[in-house]
Amino acid sequence: MTVVKCPTCGKETEYNGNEFRPFCSERCKVLDFGAWADEEYSLPAEVQEITEEDVAEIEKAVQEKRER
């Protein structure tokens, strides 16, 4: 029997035969889905500025693709 902690509430729950796995219940599963839908989970990202040189390269690539 594999036992895991519910990612939402931390309660230990059986993994095999659990229709809501890895969650302990439908409630915890829905709460987690709601957090994703509300964008509460996110990954950090670096913001990069696009330079004029980058824009020129993109425009050149687009033009070359159109000419094919």
Q: Report pLDDT for 36.
A: 93
Q: Report pLDDT for 30.
A: 97
| Extended strands (E) in 7-67 | 12-14
- Tokens 């709601």 locate to 34
Q: Which CATH architecture has domain 3-67?
A: 2-Layer Sandwich (3.30)
Q: Report pLDDT for 47.
A: 83
Q: Report pLDDT for 42.
A: 87
- Print pLDDT tens along the chain (68 aa): 899 999 999 999 999 999 999 999 999 999 999 999 999 988 888 888 999 999 999 999 999 989 88
